[in-house]
Amino acid sequence: MPADPATLFFVLVITSATGTLLLTWCWLQNSAERTLLWTAAAYAGVAIGSFLFAGRGIIPDRLSIDAANAFSMLGMALAWAAGRAFNGRPILPWVPAIGPLLWVLACQLPAFYASFPARVMLSSTILAIYAVLTAREFAQRDGLLGRVPVVAMFVVHAVFVALRIPLTLTTVDDLPGVYQAAWFGMAALEAIVFSQVIAVLMVSLTKERVEKRLNAAALTDALTGLANRRALLERGAEAVAEAARRGRPIAVVAFDLDRFKEINDRFGHPVGDAVLVAFAAAAVATLRPGDIAGRLGGEEFAVVLPDASAADAAAVAERLMTAFRQASAAVEGCGEGCTTSAGVAASPAGRLGIEQLLSAADRALYAAKREGGDRVRFEAVAEVA
């Protein structure tokens, strides 16, 4: 592929500089997303390196060779830092520094500096390693689909960079030879495409995570961290539909904290909030991974128990009540522990809807409250075949 090196470097400089500005602007719109700032810094490093590369033969070699490669390596290293920031992991300063530092030190050796193949081998190896480390950093399983193309792009880029080593060793002896090589245009084009695509993918990935967090927040009770009423009903309906499909039992337990208004009035809302949090902690510690716990509102909670009979659900309710009493004992005003009442409703074959089960459980709950609280009651509901 015929290619004019000056034109290709100019395009790469413009692309990297544009990426820097785009990512910086996106970060200014959401300064909490440090990933965008680190990625902007990575693009700035590549832009400076490419600009210095373009000056080869015009500016001193110490700038067009030493500094140009060091800035390019730093840019790729900062992409790794962006991945660490995205995952909320600490950024170890020595990791981005070691590659450029190793390069600068090697350039002080006359034999190394005089060997074009040696310089290509070291620079390409460092760049490829940073690209692989960045791909590894983004290759986390958290349900974000945008991670996949980011990882793929860094892996492909690492391969292209690594291929410079055998291609250089077998086809050329110096930089002018590289510019005349058939593969140089393709390598430069890959670098340009990589630079353009990664900027878009990083913005898209960050946006995807922000949207996921907002969606999760819309379905989560802010105080307890349990599902809110909407989420409980949605997930409960899904669990009931699955139980009906498989012909398996499912149960719902409704809870109401005993004398909660009295605790709030006597000790204040902060203590009441602590009691609610204690119940949520007891639920999380007691329930199985597939069970669904949520706060319906105020001091009312409910849990959906797939593959559970009425007896199973009553046993779960008893364990949760005991765990809550123990967890709340440390809260001011609870003395030896607060208590709760529970109502159980079950569907042996999953033929009852979530609203029906909650209504039946609620009726059983208030039967328990009328009897003085701190107990479990069950209401049978007929299923239609």
Three-class SS string for 143-190? Answer: CCCCHHHHHHHHHHHHHHHHHHHHHHHHHCCCHHHHHHCCCHHHHHHH
Phi first, then psi: what are they for 372, rounded to 5°?
Answer: 115, -5
What are the beta bridge partners of residue 250?
306, 347
Tell me, what amino acid is at 286? Answer: T
- In this structure, the number of other CB atoms found within 10 A of the CB of residue 261 comes to 11
CB of 329 closer than 8 Å to CB of 344: no
Give CA separation, 174 vs 19, 119, 164, 296, in Å: 31, 10, 13, 72
CB of 140 closer than 8 Å to CB of 147: yes
**Which entry of 299, 318, 336, 371 is annotated as an active-site residue?**
299
Rounded Cα gap, residues 350 and 250, in angstroms:
6
Tell me, what amino acid is at 95? Answer: V
Nearest to 379 by CA among 253, 222, 205, 232: 253
Burial class for 189, CB neighbours closer than 10 Å (0-12, 13-18, 19+): middle
Rounded Cα gap, residues 128 and 136, in angstroms:
12
Q: Counting every residue, how long is the chain?
A: 385
Is residue 299 among the annotated active site residues? yes
Rounded Cα gap, residues 94 and 91, in angstroms:
9
Rounded Cα gap, residues 21 and 71, in angstroms:
18
Using only C-alpha atoms, the chain has a radius of gyration, in whole angstroms, of 31
Show which residues are catalytic: 299
